[in-house]
Amino acid sequence: MTTGGRVEREGAAPAFYAIGRSGWRAWATLLHLPYTAWHLAYVVVGGCLVAEVAWGRLALTVIAFALALGVGAHALDELAGRPLGTTIDARLLVAAATLSIAAACAIGVAVAIDTTLWLLPLIALGAALVPAYNLELLGGRLHTDLTFALAWGAFPLVTAYVAQAASIRLDALLAAAWATALSLAQRHLSTAARRARREVARVDGVLVLRDGRREELDAGRLAAAPEAALRLLTASTVLLAASLVSMRLL
């Protein structure tokens, strides 16, 4: 609603990928599909850094992270503060998180027994990080931008690499630093976009350009640029992962 240069935003979706708050649409929204694809791309990148890729093992690693991160972490996040405003029952969120994280850990243990036991501490760390971060345990001390970047950027990449190579090398550490930096960029952009969508009720202001033109500010304009960048970064990260897979297969 606009009145004399004052813009009020009513009924804005909580995220650019949100398609509904109830029924199957709520579950689809809960998965944060663009971001889940982004972080699964880190898994693929890490798994493709080795000379010979064990594709079955990489597929299991992707499935494990899809369950733990795509379902488990996001279910706990919604349980903690309802940032997406869904009507999913809390008991269903707890069940989804518990089952998905348990299944992810079971897959990880099976892969570790078959390949290297060095995966076991990584599995334990991941199982602890998901509730600690998303439920803001320990007084929320782990719920920081850096923890997000390390847990959802570097960690998937390193874990996938170890699952393939049974060791860690400099190339994997450099790639993990790339994933951390990119995830920090994601965090800064998504924080700005979320604030505009979920917290801003009204924007007062006008952009006055050097040529004298005037453009009204509103919450949509504040969210547009970071969300466009997030879409492009999602696409670029997924395309990088796809190119590595193509290089290994063809």
Tell me if 7 is assigned to some domain: no
pTM of the complete model beyond 0.85: yes
**Closest among 144, 118, 142 to 129, alpha carbons compared:** 142
Tell me if 186 is assigned to some domain: yes
Number of domains in the chain: 1
Read off the pLDDT of residues 115-146 as tens digits, 9 standing for 90 and up: 999 999 999 999 999 999 999 999 999 999 99
Show the domain range for 241: 12-249
Tell me if 3 is assigned to some domain: no
Choice between 64 and 203, residue whose per-residue pLDDT is larger: 64
Mean pLDDT of 191-203: 90
What is the pLDDT, as a whole number, of residue 11? 60
Tell me if 90 is assigned to some domain: yes
Query: Is the pLDDT assigned to residue 111 strictly greater than 50?
Result: yes
Distance separating alpha carbons of residues 108 and 242, to the nearest angstrom: 23
DSSP string across 80-132? HH-TT-----HHHHHHHHHHHHHHHHHHHHHHHHHS-TTHHHHHHHHHHHHHH
Read off the pLDDT of residues 19-58 as tens digits, 9 standing for 90 and up: 999 999 999 999 999 999 999 999 999 999 999 999 999 9
Read off the pLDDT of residues 53-103 as tens digits, 9 standing for 90 and up: 999 999 999 999 999 999 999 999 999 999 999 999 999 999 999 999 999
What is the pLDDT, as a whole number, of residue 250? 86
Query: Is the pLDDT assigned to residue 212 strictly greater than 50?
Result: yes
